[in-house]
Amino acid sequence: MTASILDSSFKEEPYWWEAFRPQAIEAPSLPGRTDVVVVGGGYAGLATARALADGGVKSVVLEAEEFGSGASTRSGGGISAGLSIGKSFAGKSLDYAPELVRDVVGWAVEAYRGLFDLVEKENIDCHLEQHGRFLGACAVSHYDGLRARFDKLRAGGATDCYLVSREEQRQEIGSDFYHGGMVLETAGKLHPALFYGGLLAAARRRNSITLAGHCRATGLARSGDGWRVTTGAGDIEARHVVIATNGYTSGLTPQLQRRLVPIASHIIATEELPADLVQKLCPKGRTFSETRRVLHYYRISPDGRRVIFGGRARFTEIPGELRARLLHRAMVERFPELADTKVTHTWQGNVAFTYDALPHAGEIDGLHFILGCNGSGVSMMPFLGDAMGKSIAGKLHGRMPFADTALPAIPLYSGNPWFLPAIGGAFRALDYIDEKIR
């Protein structure tokens, strides 16, 4: 059964790496002193270093693995200006003060526009396009929930979303799986690894940035009015440290680790499909997401030939063949005509959830941080990195986004998410009850 869905070329690595592979950039030697050490070389870390450089500030970016091995080259590449904000990992929409909703929607729109600006300024060829997103309601009650969310988004200033009834939904997606949904026009997609490669190239063009791959930060200690950062390649003294480790945050920063729940997200890519079938499944080039607690998200590849289908097949890492089987089954539930379609690639990566379901950037114990993408970071994490770099360089006009909203502690949690398999099972059961019983 499993063997039959795997293509003969099946690989356990991101489809995106066919176009850009993570790079082992090792600094010949680390400087003993710099202005800012950035820990983590994903979108957030690189965007921070870029903004620092443009503000005349030197930095060293430490990356524990190869540059690009974290979530930033593994995502679905879907981007939106706010639709996913405020959704907890339990799938619940949280209640925020109206002022916060307004701020968050504003930042999400800025992040989205900022991504287009960044791609243009750095001349990054990453198939960035805006064709909107369809958010499918997995149960009748979820459609009512979407209506309430729609009202809130409108009240928060969003003007480009509309509800789609079940009868109309085939105009958006070639599937009868959903009970209607919502379209957000200000949403799009890109090739996440090519975008990352462009950001990495932009960092390499700036002489004041030192990139140090395979160089894990293993210790942080106060030193004068700055920090001493310990790595396997020696210590670095810096006035500031920025933690940009998101779903890979470790005991290096226990005060941050216990505020984040790392959750694995999983994806498959299919073999190439006939153009008319792709057109039927995805008539408007939208990205797709849904209202379940344990949701799936999917899209067509930039060449218009494959389905890239993701979800939290489990909340933790699982073997590739199991992942491929679970995601293939979910894909066929939505698109029965793909029952015989083979899987060519599967991969996984970590995202980081916060207790209030918001991303955060700010300062804790004198350390700067950009963390908590809550599963949607392709536009938000570079935006926060850019703002953080400008803020440290004294070049930020206006408020640092999210800086006035403290990154909340998670009750009874010390940073070890031992409960995730149980929670994943419970959420799947609740989804089942919503869809089949209520």
Ligand X SMILES: Cc1cc2nc3c(=O)[nH]c(=O)nc-3n(C[C@H](O)[C@H](O)[C@H](O)COP(=O)(O)OP(=O)(O)OC[C@H]3O[C@@H](n4cnc5c(N)ncnc54)[C@H](O)[C@@H]3O)c2cc1C
Instruction: Please report, as ranges, the residues that interact with ligand X according to CB under 6 A.
Output: 39-45, 62-65, 69-72, 74-79, 216-217, 244-248, 250, 252, 265, 267, 297, 310, 349-351, 373, 375-378, 381
Query: Do the Cβ atoms of 399 and 413 come closer than 8 Å?
Result: no
| Cβ-based nearer residue to ligand X, 72 or 169 | 72
Q: Min. distance of Cβ 9 from ligand X in angstroms?
A: 21
CB atoms within 10 A of CB 336: 11
3-class DSSP state for residue 411?
coil
Q: Min. distance of Cβ 219 from ligand X in angstroms?
A: 10
Sheet holding 161-164, edge to edge: 6-11, 343-353, 261-270, 307-311, 296-300, 287-290, 133-136, 181-184, 161-164
| Cβ-based nearer residue to ligand X, 354 or 376 | 376
Going through 137-279 in order, the beta strands assigned E by DSSP cover 161-164, 181-184, 187-189, 209-212, 217-223, 226-231, 234-243, 261-270
Amino acid (1-letter code) at residue 360: H
Q: How many residues does the chain have?
A: 438
Amino acid (1-letter code) at residue 17: W
Q: Phi, psi (5° rounding) for residue 204?
A: -70, -25
| Cβ-based nearer residue to ligand X, 69 or 434 | 69
Q: Min. distance of Cβ 327 from ligand X in angstroms?
A: 11
Q: Min. distance of Cβ 350 from ligand X in angstroms?
A: 6
| Cβ-based nearer residue to ligand X, 349 or 434 | 349
Q: Min. distance of Cβ 135 from ligand X in angstroms?
A: 13
| Cβ-based nearer residue to ligand X, 46 or 393 | 46
Q: Phi, psi (5° rounding) for residue 33?
A: -145, 145
Q: Min. distance of Cβ 140 from ligand X in angstroms?
A: 27
| Cβ-based nearer residue to ligand X, 70 or 302 | 70
Going through 101-148 in order, the beta strands assigned E by DSSP cover 133-136
Q: Min. distance of Cβ 359 from ligand X in angstroms?
A: 8
Tell me, letter by letter, the H, E, C secondary structure of 287-334.
Answer: EEEECCCCCEEEEECCCCCCEEEEECCCCCCCCHHHHHHHHHHHHHHH
| Cβ-based nearer residue to ligand X, 53 or 79 | 79
Tokens (6 digits) for 46: 């690189």
Residue number of the CB atom closest to ligand X: 377
